[in-house]
Amino acid sequence: MAQYERMVIFTGNANRPLAEAIARYVKRPLGDALVTQFRDGETRVLLRDDVRGADVFIVQPTSPPVNQHVMELLVMIDAAKRASAGRITAVIPYYGYSRQEKKTVGREPISAKLVADLIQRAGANRVLTVDLSNPAIEGFFDIPVDHLHAGLLLAQQVQRLLRDTHDIVVAAPDVGAVRLADRFRGYLDSAPLAVLFKDRPQPDEVVMQGMIGDIVGKTVVLVDDLISTGGTLIAAADLLESNGASRVIAVATHPVLAEGALERLTNSAIETVLVTDAIPVPNPPPAIRIISLAPLLAEAINRVHFDISVSELMHQPRLPI
Ligand code: R5P
């Protein structure tokens, strides 16, 4: 029995196809909302569907252009709150600013915390998100955060792609990805783990310093949370190849894909890159495969609505819908 009688799902402009797919899975029409801009660039929102007392889900990855998408999310939450929504869940498949989650030198902001504060202050009651670059960001919120992982969906596709998975090594392209890669290898019959050591002399510059793990003659699956310039995965694949890997494929949840990244990845040593549709990738080349998060997010939304455990969802071999 749901706590709130009605569920209404809205979306901003960050990823309408994903929101539509989620709405199809939960068998409800997407809520009618105008999300546009005034002539001066300010965000303009009008929720045309009644939300009084409803369980409102706003699907909006805060992907590039990040500031615009963050603002759309905030203004939509505000609109729902002022229209007396019963409960508001911000469904954020990709949480922008997540890489600024600590100070690395003096006088830097912690932008991931600032964005969390804004989302709560706007009126969100819950957050549903996927593969935060650092799980500690959950603690930046004082409201419930359901943190989903795309690993199982991606691993199932890796199995389909490779068919024979006995020769696989899962690799973390940097120390920060070890936890993610370790969980991922659990979905692939506990494949062995390799770890690469990355240095960033400048913000978008990558130097691979070395690695541990036996990869000679193996198919290596690189696992990361996001791809921005592609520099991390490309440099990792080069190092793996020069150390004797026979094939390199890569999986990442968030295709942030800064300008030129798709081309660089296509021309790299990586055979195939599997990413989710947390962020839309228009016209992906054949080497980039997109796996939809819609079934996972739809099932999680249903579970939040009907007060059923969401963490259980992470341990199921197959999604129930
Ligand atoms: C942080 O290090 C992340 O996990 C990614 O490895 C990184 O942000 C990817 O960025 P790029 O594709 O620009 O190397």
Q: What is the spatial distance between Cα 265 and Cα 185, in angstroms, rounded to a whole number?
A: 23
Expressed in angstroms and rounded, the spacing between residue 159 Cα and the centre of ligand 1 is 24
More confident residue, 203 or 276: 276
Pocket test for ligand 1, best of 205, 226, 251 (most atoms within 8 A of CB): 226
Report the SS3 class of residue 215: coil
Expressed in angstroms and rounded, the spacing between residue 177 Cα and the centre of ligand 1 is 9
pLDDT at 194: 98
Measured by CA distance, the residue closest to atom 9 of ligand 1 is 227
Grade residue 316 by pLDDT with cuts at 50, 70 and 90.
low
Weakest-pLDDT range from 20-34, 200-214, 286-300: 200-214
Q: At what angle do helices 111-122 and 66-82 cross, to 10 degrees?
A: 20
DSSP lists the bridge partners of residue 267 as none
Provide the mean pLDDT of the chain. Answer: 95
pLDDT at 2: 84
CB within 8 Å of 253: residues ≥ 6 apart: 94, 130, 131, 150, 154, 225, 226, 275, 276, 278
Q: How close are the terminal C-alpha atoms of the chain, in Å?
A: 19
Report the atom number in ligand 1 closest to the C-alpha of 177. Answer: 4
Expressed in angstroms and rounded, the spacing between residue 76 Cα and the centre of ligand 1 is 30
Per-residue tokens: 239: 């190092």
Grade residue 318 by pLDDT with cuts at 50, 70 and 90.
low
- pLDDT at residue 1 above 90? no
> Whole-model pTM?
0.95
207-239 burial: b if 16+ Cβ within 10 Å, else e: ebeebebebeebbbbbbbbbbbbbbbbbbbbeb
Q: What is the spatial distance between Cα 202 and Cα 225, in angstroms, rounded to a whole number?
A: 20
Weakest-pLDDT range from 130-139, 200-209, 245-254: 200-209
Provide, rounded to the nearest whole percent, the portion of the chain with pLDDT above 90: 93
Provide, rounded to the nearest whole percent, the portion of the chain with pLDDT above 70: 98
pLDDT at 113: 98
- pLDDT at residue 151 above 60? yes
Catalytic residues: 198
Report the SS3 class of residue 129: strand
pLDDT in tens, 186-195: 999 999 999 9
Pocket test for ligand 1, best of 195, 198, 228 (most atoms within 8 A of CB): 228
Pocket test for ligand 1, best of 95, 98, 232 (most atoms within 8 A of CB): 232
pLDDT at 234: 98
Report the atom number in ligand 1 closest to the C-alpha of 256. Answer: 12
Weakest-pLDDT range from 116-125, 198-207, 224-233, 275-284: 198-207
Grade residue 163 by pLDDT with cuts at 50, 70 and 90.
confident
**What is the per-residue DSSP string for 21-75?**
HHHHHTT-PPP-EEEEE-TTS-EEEEE-S--BT-EEEEE----SSHHHHHHHHHH
pLDDT in tens, 29-85: 999 999 999 999 999 999 999 999 999 999 999 999 999 999 999 999 999 999 999
Expressed in angstroms and rounded, the spacing between residue 32 Cα and the centre of ligand 1 is 36
CB 149 within 8 A of CB 130: yes
For ligand 1, which residues put their CB under 6 angstroms from it?
99, 133, 174, 176-177, 204, 206, 224-232
CB 217 within 8 A of CB 223: no
Provide, for the chain, the percentages of residues in helix, strand and coil under a 3-state DSSP scheme, each rounded to the nearest 5: 30, 25, 40
**H helices of the chain, where?**
16-25, 66-82, 111-122, 151-162, 178-186, 231-242, 261-266, 294-305
